[in-house]
Amino acid sequence: MTPTALTYDDLVEAADLMAERLLSAEGQLEKLTQQLGAAHGEVAALQGVLEFERERTRKRRQGGDHKAAAVTPPGLFAKLRRPFGH
């Protein structure tokens, strides 16, 4: 490997390229952070729905309505099938 002499212009160009890449990576990180926040929100919402359905099922079973308790409402499946971020 032979040493290469870099000019000031070469160093400026390399610095500009690194700055562009850094800004791009920061933008990607921000988008991913937003998606992660949305996913956490959806998980929390689904956990709430699940807890609500469990409690409702428990109450129905205690009331003797075993058939109704075994049926999961169609809305719950729709919420579980929906992709994150929508």
State the average pLDDT over residues 68-83.
Answer: 61
- Residue 46's SS3 state is helix
State the average pLDDT over residues 58-85.
Answer: 67
- Bigger pLDDT: 64 vs 28: 28
Q: Answer whether residue 25 shows pLDDT above 70.
A: yes
Which residues have a Cβ under 8 Å from the Cβ of 53 and sit 6 or more positions away? 72, 73, 76
Cut 0.75: pTM above it: no
What is the DSSP secondary-structure string of 11-29?
Answer: HHHHHHHHHHHHHHHHHHH
- Residue 51's SS3 state is helix
Q: Where are the domains of the chain?
A: 41-86
Highest average pLDDT, of 13-22, 65-74, 77-86, comes from 13-22
Residues 30-66 have pLDDT tens digits of: 999 999 999 999 999 999 999 999 999 988 888 876 5
